[in-house]
Amino acid sequence: MEYKRSSALFTEAQKVIPGGVNSPVRAFKAVGGTPIFVKEAKGAYIIDEDDKQYIEYINSWGPMILGHAHKPVIDAVIEKAKKGTSFGMPTEIETKIAELAVSMVPNIDMIRFVNSGTEACMSAVRLARGFTGKDKIIKFAGCYHGHSDSFLIQAGSGAVTFGSPNSPGVTAGTAKDTLLARFNDLENVKEIISQNEGEISCIIIEPVAGNMGCIPPVAGFLEGLRTLCDAHNILLVFDEVMTGFRLAKGGVQELLGVNADIVCFGKVIGGGLPVGAFAARKEIMHHLAPIGPVYQAGTLSGNPLAMAAGFAMLQELNTGNVFQSLHDKTEYLHKGISKVLTEAGVTHQINRIGSMISVHFCEEPVIDFASAAKGNNDSFKKFFHGLLDRGIYIAPSAFETWFLSDALSYEDLDKTIQAIEEVAKDL
Ligand code: PLP
């Protein structure tokens, strides 16, 4: 399959942008070949620079839950843009989206908007440290919380794809305050807490992991973390950058019924514009500047275009039955993939929750980073390129989750399953 114009554009890009991309996984290093350059996208489809159309399963790594160029979001952005793009002064739309977000998510009274998921998680941890007066944090191997220094310790997807779980440039001084635990292993967390009694400010977790493929928590795991946090005066930080406004209106807190102390958002909350946010109950949020001493700021934070896009998106999600529809479509896809891979005799595991799903080419269930890493990458590469050639676009790394959009039709899902049936013959 030729990707002529994409190849030419990639060659040009590499001369002026490191690796030709502005975020590493886009470079296709894990799967080989040339990244396709996107010309435009609408609904469930993207069209590349060679005018080839694809059915889309990344959706900008999550945000485009209603599909690309969703009209209410686009209209909101256009209308706002006509009135100016940034002021660095308060605007009404910031309060409107804050009120809406707080009304949709359990257990939060206040929210602060930033420009990315990275900023949200970085600020949440600073707030947790400021609130508790303790320095250390626990994170889980394979969980990604953005590219801020404290988190680049066994950080899943992008980092693992490039074989650098711990990035150079993160100082030993910073790394020593990040304690690493095994996902879905409560005993391991207990041990770490007892070895660092009185020193841990927060446990940060993707409550449904999405950066080592999709890994839901085993029964009792999140509840156990909640109990441990309560017993040891530790804040529980849910990084819902992927799962917030995707798995349910109120994210994992609502879906699985476990309360967090601080919640981080990104992706869907910005409707496809650069937005992140972190939220908590009033008592915690009052520690933030300008009320409290924990500093956090941003020239473009609360940007009117981004807030308009996010507000339009949340309004759409707050009505109707998007989440049920997405669940049904993802379940349908799961059953279809499972059937064709089983019939072709391909060893595999499929993890799914809500509209997040991942296919792993391994024998054992995938419940943590170690089991995710056992997937057969050669099979994944063939799978990826076989699908790409057939007009199906999934994430170019075995460690990434697929994100469905509600713009996908059952016909799209059938085409995808049929393509997988064809590709399975070569695996
Ligand atoms: N947290 C999670 C769970 C993520 O998946 C990501 C990005 O994929 C981030 C944080 C960082 O978000 P951003 O890329 O917007 O900085």
Considering 281, 303, 318, which residue would you say is the last residue of a domain? 318
Task: Kindly state whether residues 284 and 355 are assigned to the same domain.
Answer: no
For ligand 1, say whether the CB of 121 is within 6 Å of any of its atoms: yes
**Statement to judge: residues 270 and 331 lie in one domain:** no
Q: Does the beta carbon of 146 sit less than 6 angstroms from any atom of ligand 1?
A: yes
* pLDDT, tens only, 6-21: 999 999 999 999 999 9
* Claim to verify: residue 338 and residue 226 sit in the same structural domain: no
Write down the catalytic residue from 144, 249, 393, 406. 144
Amino acid at 45: Y
CATH at 382: 3.90.1150.10
Backbone phi and psi for residue 320, each to the nearest 5 degrees, phi listed first: 75, -165
At which residue do the structure tokens 């060659």 appear?
A: 11
Catalytic residue, candidates 239, 261, 406, 412: 239
What residues are paired with 114 via a beta bridge?
Answer: 276
| Structural tokens at position 261 | 């102390």
Q: Tens digit of pLDDT for each residue in 353-376?
A: 999 999 999 999 999 999 999 999
| Whether 106 and 77 share a structural domain | yes
Domain count, the chain: 2
Verify whether ligand 1 is closer than 6 Å to residue 117 (CB atom): yes
Specify whether 139 is catalytic. Answer: no
CB 131 within 8 A of CB 288: no
In this structure, the answer to whether residues 165 and 272 fall within a common structural domain is yes
Q: Are residues 185 and 314 in the same domain?
A: yes
pLDDT per residue as tens digits for the range 79-101? 999 999 999 999 999 999 999 99
Q: Measuring from atom 13 of ligand 1, which residue has the nearest CA? A: 117
Q: Do 360 and 406 have their domain in common?
A: yes
Say if residue 51 is in the same domain as residue 109.
no
State the average pLDDT over residues 322-331.
98
pLDDT in tens, 258-307: 999 999 999 999 999 999 999 999 999 999 999 999 999 999 999 999 99
Same domain, 274 and 208: yes
Specify which residues 351 forms β-bridges with. 358
Average model confidence (pLDDT) across the chain: 95
- Judge if pTM exceeds 0.80: yes
How many Å from the N-terminal Cα to the C-terminal Cα in the chain? 18
For ligand 1, the distance from its centroid to the CA atom of residue 307, given in whole angstroms, is 18
Tens of pLDDT, residues 208-227? 999 999 999 999 999 999 99
Residues 75 and 65 in one domain: no
ipTM value > 0.90: yes
Taking only the tens place, the pLDDT of each residue in 250-271 is 999 999 999 999 999 999 999 9
335 and 295 co-located in one domain: no
Give me the domain span that covers residue 179.
Answer: 71-318
Give the whole-angstrom CA distance, residue 283 versus residue 296. 17
The reply to whether 239 belongs to the active site is yes
Q: How far is CA 92 from the centre of its chain?
A: 28
Question: Which of 381, 378, 392 has the alpha carbon at shortest distance from 421?
Answer: 392
Establish whether 57 is a catalytic residue: no
pLDDT at 155: 63
CA-274 nearest atom, ligand 1: 15
Residue 288 burial class via C-beta count within 10 angstroms: exposed 0-12, middle 13-18, buried 19 and up: buried
Pairing of strands 200-205, 178-181: unpaired
